[in-house]
């Protein structure tokens, strides 16, 4: 079932932590997906956020108003072969896990990206070379999250290395960790073929990963001349009604994150999703 509604913090604009929490109160949202560098002007680097004084100050208004950070977005590429950058990304990710442990944020999330350091598609992303590059570089991060009792969230996407249901199953088997969770963005996993049978796609996904999924991203898509274009929810071809129905039939509780909505759209979406 859909338990709580939230939004990506930076979709509300660049605000102070207090202003951000005030917006959550205004729109009757329970929490956010927080990417600090995108949400707060005073956080210039990941190291700024990891600093105890800075992160404590950011989290205080959430605690005071009983609002939650559903997950920290720490979307860094762990799949390429640039050693110095990989080491830096690992240090940053561990820093986010430390902050999550200290403030009882249950999830630190990332995407699987590509073999290119800049994240652009690589012709070998969907081969074993791409798969094992990602697996090898996150195993120690998953172990670190498990040691710190924080969930390590992975968001599959067709344009990245973990690109479909079968690859996601393989990854969960190979990682074999109780700390791994999935962030389900149906639009990111969508292909033209899946778009023709979305009901089947949603049902297959939840049958395989219901117990592993804590977060659902809520947006939309269309295909224009063969290219996928992302839109805000309700403006494209995603079957939101069936997605909502399948999620609500589950005994597992999901947090739903709205993406890219205007204030007017957000008000309507919150009212619609509550009933």
pLDDT in single tens digits along all 275 residues of the chain: 889 999 999 999 999 999 999 999 999 999 999 999 999 999 999 999 999 999 999 999 999 999 999 999 999 999 999 999 999 999 999 999 999 999 999 999 999 999 999 999 999 999 999 999 999 999 999 999 999 999 999 999 999 999 999 999 999 999 999 999 999 999 999 999 999 999 999 999 999 999 999 999 999 999 998 899 999 888 899 999 999 999 999 989 999 999 988 777 888 778 777 65
pLDDT (0 to 100) of residue 262: 75
Which pLDDT value is given to residue 190? 97
Contacts of 98 (CB under 8 A, 6+ apart): 50, 148
Q: Rounded to an integer, what distance in angstroms lies between the CA atom of residue 85 and that of residue 77? A: 9
259-264, Cβ contacts within 8 angstroms, sequence gap of 24 or more: 259/7, 259/8, 259/11, 259/217, 259/218, 259/219, 259/232, 259/233, 260/8, 260/11, 260/219, 260/230, 260/231, 260/232, 261/7, 261/11, 261/232, 261/233, 262/232, 263/27
The number of beta carbons lying within 10 Å of the beta carbon of residue 244 is 17
What count of other Cβ atoms lies within 10 Å of the Cβ of residue 251? 7
Give yes or no for a contact between 250 and 2, defined as CB atoms under 8 angstroms apart: no
Q: What is the pLDDT of residue 274?
A: 66
Which residues are CB-contacts of 270 (< 8 A; sequence separation ≥ 6)? Answer: 5, 27, 28, 29, 258
pLDDT of the residue at 264: 75
């Amino acid at each position: 079932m859909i338990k709580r509604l939230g939004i990506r913090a930076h979709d509300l604009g660049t605000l102070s932590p207090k202003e951000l929490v005030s917006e959550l109160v205004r729109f009757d949202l329970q929490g956010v997906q927080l990417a600090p560098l995108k949400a707060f002007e005073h956080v210039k680097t990941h190291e700024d956020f990891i600093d105890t004084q800075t992160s404590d100050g950011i989290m205080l208004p959430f605690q005071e108003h009983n609002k939650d950070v559903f997950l920290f977005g720490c979307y860094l590429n762990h799949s390429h072969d640039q050693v110095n950058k990989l080491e830096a990304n690992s240090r940053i990710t561990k820093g986010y896990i430390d902050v999550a442990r200290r403030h009882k944020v249950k999830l630190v999330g990332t995407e699987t990206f590509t073999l290119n350091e800049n994240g652009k598609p690589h012709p070998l992303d969907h081969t074993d070379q791409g798969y094992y590059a990602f697996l090898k570089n996150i195993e120690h991060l998953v172990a670190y999250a498990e040691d710190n009792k924080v969930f390590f969230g992975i968001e599959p996407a067709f344009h990245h290395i973990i690109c479909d249901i079968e690859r996601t199953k393989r990854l969960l088997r190979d990682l074999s960790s109780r700390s791994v969770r999935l962030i389900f963005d149906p639009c990111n996993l969508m292909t033209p073929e899946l778009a023709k049978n979305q009901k089947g796609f949603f049902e297959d996904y939840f049958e395989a990963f219901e117990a592993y999924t804590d977060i659902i991203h809520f947006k939309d898509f269309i295909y224009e001349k063969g290219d996928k274009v992302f839109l805000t929810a309700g403006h494209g071809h995603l079957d939101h009604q069936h997605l909502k129905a399948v999620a609500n039939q589950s005994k597992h509780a999901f947090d739903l994150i709205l993406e890219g909505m205007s204030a007017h759209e957000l008000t309507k979406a919150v009212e619609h999703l509550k009933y």
